[in-house]
Amino acid sequence: MRKILIIFIVTIFSIPIFSQEYRLENNIHYYDEQTNKSDAYINERCVLDIYIPKNIKNFPTVIWFHGGGLTGGQKEIPEQLKNKGVAVIGVNYRLSPKVNAPKYIEDAAAASAWVFKNIKNYGGDNNKIFISGHSAGGYLAIMVGLNKMYLEKYGIDANKLAGIIPFSGQMVSHFTARKEKGIDELDARIDDFAPLHFIRADAPPLLLITGDREKELLGRYEENAYMARMMKLKGHKETTLYELQGFDHGGMAHPAFPLLLNEIKRIEKLKK
- pLDDT (tens digit per residue) in 172-181: 999 999 999 9
Q: Are 231 and 199 in contact (CB under 8 A)?
A: yes
Reported as type and span, the H/E element at residue 163 is: strand 163-167
Look at residue 3 in the predicted model and tell me its pLDDT: 54
pLDDT one-digit tens code per residue, 212-253 = 999 999 999 999 999 999 999 999 999 999 999 999 999 999
Question: Mind listing the pLDDT tens digit for each residue in 149-174?
Answer: 999 999 999 999 999 999 999 999 99
pTM for the predicted model, two decimal places: 0.94
Residue 39, C-beta contacts closer than 8 angstroms, at least 6 positions apart:
none
pLDDT, position 86: 98
Average pLDDT over residues 33-57: 97
Task: Assign residue 246 a region (left: φ > 0; alpha: ψ between -120 and 50; beta: otherwise).
Answer: left
The DSSP bridge partners found for residue 240 are: 207
3-class DSSP state of 248:
coil
pLDDT in tens, 132-148: 999 999 999 999 999 99
What is the spatial order of strands in the sheet that 47-53 belongs to? 2-4, 239-244, 206-211, 163-167, 124-134, 59-65, 87-91, 47-53, 22-29
Contact at 8 Å (CB) between 61 and 86? yes
**For the chain, where are the alpha helices, taking DSSP H only?**
7-13, 33-38, 40-45, 103-118, 136-146, 149-152, 175-179, 220-234, 253-271
Residues 13-24: what's their mean pLDDT?
66
CB 228: neighbour CB atoms within 10 A?
A: 20
Domains along the chain?
2-271 (3.40.50.1820)
